[in-house]
Homo-oligomer: A and B are copies of this chain.
Amino acid sequence: MADQKKMVEAITSMDEDFAKWYTDIVKKADLADYSSVRGCMIVRPYGCAIWENIQHILDTRFKELGHENVQMPMFIPESLLQKEKDHVEGFAPEVAWVTHGGEEKLTERLCVRPTSETLFCEHYAKIINSYRDLPKLYNQWCSVVRWEKTTRPFLRTCEFWWQEGHTMHETQQEAMEETERMLGVYAEFCENSLAIPVTKGRKTKKERFAGAEATYTIEAMMHDGKALQSGTSHYFGDGFSRAFGITFQGRDNKPQYPHQTSWGMSTRIIGAIIMTHGDNDGLVLPPAIAPVQVVVLPIAQHKEGVLEAARAVTERLRGVCRVKIDDSDNSAGWKFAEYEMKGVPLRLEMGPRDIAAGQCVVVRRDNREKTVVALDELEQRIPELLRAVHDGLYSKALANREARTWTAKTFDELKELAMEKTGFIKSMWCGGEACELRVKEEAGLTSRCMPFEQEHIGDTCPICGKPAVTSIIWGKAY
């Protein structure tokens, strides 16, 4: 009788109210909940299981590339945060300050880490002495805090979970290679594991990370045409090394400053999954990170042999995918709606007639396509169908991005597109911050990135008419 009274309520349609559609999914798919702490979310078991799958794939990849995990303190003394000028200017206005320990007032305030460059640098100053100690390839999984004014679950919360890689290298070239390599890891992860096509590029000076010499980004496009910065990788040069006095004895026996990178991906990416693949029936999960990849639903399960057959199939599938059987007393209609809401990639239905015919019906979450599969071919067909879901999701997302990407040759064209459409608008750019600010003020768009794959759209900057130095993508962003 369990759960008989449960109902899967419909969610707001995304065409009606995209923002409400988003938060409806977050709540009704049991991904996250609000807490009484302003701007902080509770990541619920289903959301946590998705994040753990993301962590597992990324962590394995980081380790394959030689990175090691560490745990730094969650606090940064105020004087330490202030050591690098640009960095403190960027972060000080949005940190949480600890002023008391127990009953005592602290002699120096501590901030809760908004990011950990300063802590890593202090440690590196102690443990790096020789070129033999390089590279240092460290990563940390943790949560960080930024005192945001307006928040939305996953997309922008005062506390969020992420990994932050912090590496030190002997030469500038090695550090720049690392910066690009890790951006590549993020891009590959988004495309191959999350079925999210991304554009790799460099941020403008204005959009760079505080203290970085170069920030690389992967930009994804959501259903509604808005951009979501999905992962970033920064090259710092030796600025922090100088500020923190990190030196090593080089191969020439002379003291040198090491070159630094950092790179991060956060729980924000779960927001990207929702807004790239979700539909009006709920979440749609890419198979690689779905906590349940296949849900087995026995149909007319009170009939003889159905439950046994469904359970046997579930057991067989444990070796090839993450599978779950729902043999509860809830109605088939309830179960269909529930697992659609949860975005389970494949639903496997088995009723008495299917079993008699030695088959079952597999329904794809992404396009509702039904496939009749012979029971003795399941181990082979399920992985194929999971790949098909992945490919289907990727193609659909790519098609959306292509349909929402435009090119502007003049500033008027750019402003007109910005008024009428939401998506990526490509143009040339002179590289000047004044033009970037005009686009922001007059078209309401920010620069997303200067893509690695450059296009020749023209010779001049459409805003000021001066010679162009790069092609650039403009958009509205989350």
Contact = CB atoms under 8 A, between A and B. Distances in A.
Interface of A: 2-3, 33, 35-37, 40-45, 48-49, 51-52, 68-77, 80, 92-103, 110, 112, 119, 122-123, 126-127, 132, 138, 142-143, 145, 147, 158-159, 161
Contacts of A44: 70
Contacts of A71: 42-43, 48, 51, 143, 161
A69 B2 CA distance: 23
Contacts of A100: 96-97, 99
A3 to B, nearest CB: 6
Contacts of A52: 69
Nearest to A161: B71
Contacts of A45: 68-70, 138
A48 B68 contact: yes
A32 B100 CA distance: 26
A114 to B, nearest CB: 10
A36 B80 contact: yes
Nearest to A127: B33
A408 to B, nearest CB: 37
A75 B42 contact: no
A2 B132 CA distance: 6
Oligomer: number of copies? 2
A123 B43 CA distance: 11
Contacts of A70: 42-45, 48
Given A45-B138, A49-B69, A123-B42, A147 B33 contact: no
22 contacts: A35-B73, A35-B122, A35-B123, A36-B80, A40-B75, A42-B70, A43-B70, A44-B70, A45-B69, A48-B68, A48-B70, A71-B143, A71-B161, A74-B74, A93-B102, A93-B103, A94-B102, A95-B102, A96-B98, A99-B99, A101-B147, A101-B158
A126 B33 contact: yes
A97 B99 CA distance: 6
Contacts of A122: 35-36
B119 A35 contact: yes
Nearest to A138: B45
A90 to B, nearest CB: 12
A304 B100 CA distance: 65
B132 A73 contact: no
A145 B74 contact: yes
B112 A98 contact: yes
Contacts of A2: 132
A102 B132 CA distance: 41
Nearest to A120: B42
Given A2-B132, A74-B159, A97-B101, 20 more contacts: A33-B127, A36-B122, A37-B75, A41-B73, A42-B71, A42-B72, A45-B68, A45-B69, A45-B70, A71-B143, A71-B161, A74-B112, A74-B143, A74-B145, A93-B102, A96-B98, A96-B101, A97-B98, A98-B99, A99-B99
A36 B95 CA distance: 19
Contacts of A102: 92-95, 147
A51 to B, nearest CB: 8
A88 to B, nearest CB: 13
Contacts of A110: 37, 96
A54 to B, nearest CB: 13
A191 to B, nearest CB: 26
